[in-house]
Amino acid sequence: MTRWLIMPRGINVGKSNRVPMAGIRTELGKAGFENIVTIGQSGNIAADREASEQQVCFSVQSMMHDTFGVDVPVVVRCADEIREALCANPLKTIATDGSRYLVIFLSASPTKARAAALAAEDFSPEVVRLIGRTAFVWTPDGVKAMKVSHTALEKRFGITATARNWNTLEKIATKL
């Protein structure tokens, strides 16, 4: 059985895309997920299921649409990938505030050429490191001012992305 972190993007933020966490747990149980834990109100979900990443994404997106009328992108990672991201921590020597240190999960790895182009750019004062399909972004001026946001990476790479700050990711990891 694989332990997954399921990250629907954009639910329960503001007044739109409201989805009850208890309802998510119930519906995921009906869809074959086990040991379901929701973390916070913004849609971080840890659950077990023997399925591929694509199957988990499709199942959650379908459930969100069919049950709650919400169409949002979903990015998933297995628990080991979350632990690897936390262990990698490529900006640990400069990222001094976990609320301003973001981990952006991409639905696919960018091509080598696109990754190299990103690495070659200067986003000062932000610092960006891309490892596979995970971007680590130190944004000392805060997330509202950031240049390398999940939406910027989506446009740049033509993929789906979602971000969690370091503090949140550490809390999530305790539930995986």
pLDDT tens, position by position, 39-66: 877 779 999 999 999 999 999 999 999 9
d(CA 46, CA 168): 13
The amino acid sitting at 97 is D
Domain 2-79 has CATH 3.30.70.1280: yes
Task: Spell out the domain ranges in the chain.
Answer: 2-79, 89-173
Does pLDDT of 5 surpass 70? yes
Per the omega criterion (within 30 degrees of 0), is the bond before 8 cis? no
d(CA 164, CA 31): 26
77 or 20, higher pLDDT = 77
- 1.20.58, 3.30.70, 1.25.40, 3.90.1530: which CATH number matches 89-173? 3.30.70
Do 2-79 and 89-173 come out as alike in CATH topology?
yes
| Confidence at residue 43, expressed as pLDDT on a 0 to 100 scale | 76
pLDDT band at 31 (very low <50, low <70, confident <90, very high): very high
Mean pLDDT of the chain: 92
Percent of the chain with pLDDT over 90: 76
Among all chains, which residue has been given the structure tokens 């900006």? 91
Instruction: Enumerate helices (H) and strands (E) in the chain, giving the number of each.
Output: 6, 8
pLDDT tens, position by position, 112-171: 999 999 999 999 999 999 999 999 999 999 888 899 989 899 999 999 999 999 999 999
Stretch among 9-13, 95-99, 106-110, 159-163 having the lowest mean pLDDT: 9-13
Positive or negative CA dihedral for 110, 114, 116, 117? negative
